[in-house]
Chain A
Amino acid sequence: MGLGALALALTVTASACGTTDTDDGGSASGEDCNFKIGVMGALSGANASIVLPSVDGAELALNQWENDECEVTLEKFDTEGDPAKATPVATQIAGDDTFIGVIGGAFSGETRATKSIYNDAGVTMVSQSATATDLTQEDQVEVFHRLVPYDDYQGAAIAKYLTDELGASKVFVVDNSEAYGEPLADRVEETLGDSMVQRDKTEVGQTDFAPTISKMESAAPDAVFYGGYIAEAAPLLKQMRDAGIEAPFVGGDGLYGADFGNAVGDAGEGAVVMCPCAPIEEDSTFAADYEAEFGSAPGAYAAEGFDAMTVFLAALDDGARTREDVETFVDGYTGEGLSKEIAFDENGDVPQENVSYWAYKNEGGTLVPEVEVAP
C-alpha cells in the first residue's frame, strides 16, 4: 500500500517535471512491446566530451536494431555529471514503468548517488564508463552492471605505464579530492610504492595551481600523474609547462575526451591519457556507420555505449517484457561486444581478462593510441 502510493507520487512528480512521456505507464508493460531506455550523464559541461560519444553509440545500436514486435526509444537525461542533478533523474526514471533499463551513470559520483533508487525500483543499470571501485566491490546493488573494469585495475595499469613505459622512478601524484580522482590516485600510489615521490590534493573548480607547482619544483619528479577530469587538468598542465616542468603528464580516463586537446592547447602536446578501452579500428563497420550517422569518428566510450544498448535490446529480442525479466537476462548475458567480450560476474563487473588497457597520446589535439598496457 505504502509502496503503491509512493510509486503513484513518483509518477505524478515525473509528469509534473515535464517529461516527454505521453504513454500510460501501465499499459506498456503487457502484451505490446513499447519501452524506453534512459541514458544519464554529463551531456553538457566541461566533461561532456567524455560522455556524448557513448550516447551516440547507444543511439546507433538502437537505429540498427531490427525487431518488428517492439518499439524502443532512447531518452537522454543531462546530469552535468553532478550527483545532485542525477538523483531527480533517477527518481523520474524509476517512477515511469515504461523505462526498462538505464545506460549509465556515466560518472562514478552520480552512479553512487542513484544506484539504490534504481535498485529499489528494479531498473537494470549498465554503465558505459563509471569506474569507481566501490560501486561493485562495496555495498553492491543487484541492478548495477558495467562494461568497464574498476579503478583498482586501471590504477595498476597506470602505475605500470609510468614505471615500465616511461621508466619513471619519481612520480608526482595529484588528485582532485573527489569520488573518481581520489581513489584512482590512491591505487596508483599504492602500486607505485617507492616510485612515488610526493602526493598532492587539489579541488574541483580550482584554476590556480601555484602551490602544487612549487611542490613539484622541489620534488623534481620524472613523471606526473593527475587523477581527475578535463576542466582542472587543462590549467594544471598549462601552469606546469609555464613553470618549466617538462616531466611527462599522465591522466586517467577522466581526460579521455575530445575536449581535452582543445582545453589544454599547445601545453598538452605529448600528454598521455590512459583508458580501459581498446581503440576502435578506423576501417571497422562501426566506425564507418558512426561517422555516417554523427559526422565524426567515434570518441570516448562510443563502443561501450553501443554495447550497453545492445545488451538491453538483446533482452527484448529474448522476450523480456518486464523490469524483472530484463534484470535476469542481463545478469546471464554473454556475447561478443564491440569493446570486449561481455559477461557480468555476481557483482556486475566484466571479467578482468576480457579488458584491455591503452595509453593514448595527445598529438596536435587528438588522442592517438600509443601502446597497450597489461596491469
Chain B
Amino acid sequence: MDFDALFSGLDRHTLDGITRGSIYALVALGYTMVYGVMKLINFAHSEVFMVGTWTVLGVYTVLGVSTGETLPVVIGATLLALLAAMIASAGTALAVERIAYRPLRKKGAPPLIFLITGIGCSLVLVELFGQVFEVLFGPPFGRVTVNIPSVLETKELFTIPGIDLTITNTRVIIIVGAIAMMMALDTFVNKSRLGRGVRAVAQDPDTASLMGVNQNRVIMLVFVLGGAMAGVAALLYTIQYDITKFDIGFIIGLKAFTAAVLGGIGNLRGALVGGLLLGIAEVYASTIWSSEWANVTAFVVLVVVLMFRPTGLLGESLGKARA
C-alpha cells in the first residue's frame, strides 16, 4: 500500500482518472438514455462503441494517413474520423433497435426477452468483427489487437505552474470534447422540441402517445443519440490508446454501465458524475495498490453508494430532468 504515491501526485492521478472517466461517461449516456425511455438495459451498446473504433481505423486507412502529418491534415482526418464514427455507431445502434428490439416491442414481449436479445446482438457484432469479417476480408479483422496509427500525436501543451502538472493536447481534447458533447446532449434533451418528446415518453409513454408524441420515433432518436455519443467516445478512445480489438467493447461497456448506475441510471448528468467518479476511483486504487485492485475498488464504491442512495448519486430521472 503506497499512499505517498497517491498524495505526492494527486493532481496527476486525478487528471488520469478524469481522462479515463470521460470516456466511460460518454458511453454511459447510451445506456442511460435508452433506460430512461424504455426501462431497458441495451447490452449491445458496448459493441456500438466497438464499431466506432473500427470506423476510425477504416477512415485512417482509406485516407492513408499516419503519424507525422501536417496540422491541417491531422485536423481534417480527425474530424472526418469523428463524423464517420458517430454515423457508424449511431447506425449500428439504430440497426439493433430496428432489427432486434422493435419486433419484440410490437409483440409485447416481456422485459427479460429484451435483455437476452441485447446480449445476443452484442455477441453477433463481436463475432462479426472477430470471425466473419476475417473470413471475408482478412486482416486486420480477427481476434488480434490492432494498432491504429496515432494520427493525432500526443504533445505537451503547457505546464500548470506551482503544481508542475503537464497538460497534453490529447488530454484537453478528450476531457473538453467529452464534456462539451454531454452538455450539448443535455441542452438538447432539456430545451429542444424533440427533447421534450423524449422527456414526455420517459415520464409516461401512454400519455405521451395520446398527446401526439410518436413513441417509435422517440425511441429511434434515443438510440441514435446514444450511438453517436459512443462514436465520439470511440474516437477519443483511439486518440488515447491507439488500439482496437473485436472484444474491446466488453470492459468499457461494463464500466460505462456501472458508471450509469452509480450516477443514477436514466439521468444524463448522473452519467457524467458516475463516469468521472468511477475513473478517479480506479486510478487512485491502481496507484495505491496496483491495477488488479481497480475493479474491486470501483465496485466497492458502487455497492457503498447504492446502499445509501439506491437510485444512484443523482437519482433516476430522464423524464424529470432538472432544467
- Residues of A near B245 (CB, < 8 A) are 46, 231
- Residues A209 and B5 in contact in the complex (CB < 8 Å), given A238-B241, A265-B149: no
Of B142, B147, B294, which is in contact with the most chain A CB atoms at under 10 Å from its CB?
B147
A266 close to B (CB within 8 Å): yes
Interface of A is mostly: helix
B269-323 with Cβ < 8 A to chain A: 283, 286-287, 290-292, 294-295
Query: A205, B251: Cβ atoms under 8 Å?
Result: yes
* Nearest CB in chain B: distance from A172 CB, A: 13
B216 close to A (CB within 8 Å): no
Query: A265, B9: Cβ atoms under 8 Å?
Result: no
A178-237 with Cβ < 8 A to chain B: 200-203, 205-212, 214-215, 218, 230-231, 234-235
- Residues A263 and B144 in contact in the complex (CB < 8 Å), given A218-B8, A235-B241: yes
- Residues A48 and B9 in contact in the complex (CB < 8 Å), given A202-B291, A239-B241: no
- Residues of A near B145 (CB, < 8 A) are 46, 230-231, 234-235, 259, 263
Query: A263, B147: Cβ atoms under 8 Å?
Result: yes
- Residues of A near B8 (CB, < 8 A) are 218
Query: B287, A214: Cβ atoms under 8 Å?
Result: yes
Of B144, B248, B251, which is in contact with the most chain A CB atoms at under 10 Å from its CB?
B144
Which among B147, B248, B251, B290 is the interface contact of A202 at CB below 8 angstroms?
B290
Query: B290, A214: Cβ atoms under 8 Å?
Result: no
* Nearest CB in chain B: distance from A41 CB, A: 14
Which among B5, B12, B248, B290 is the interface contact of A201 at CB below 8 angstroms?
B290
Query: A215, B5: Cβ atoms under 8 Å?
Result: yes
Which among A211, A259, A262 is the interface contact of B287 at CB below 8 angstroms?
A211
A44 close to B (CB within 8 Å): yes
B13 close to A (CB within 8 Å): yes
A214 to B287, CA, bound (A): 8
A45 close to B (CB within 8 Å): yes
A201 to B290, CA, bound (A): 5
A45 to B134, CA, bound (A): 12
A34 close to B (CB within 8 Å): no
A345 close to B (CB within 8 Å): no
Contacts A/B (CB < 8 Å), 5 sampled: A45-B144, A210-B20, A230-B145, A238-B243, A263-B144
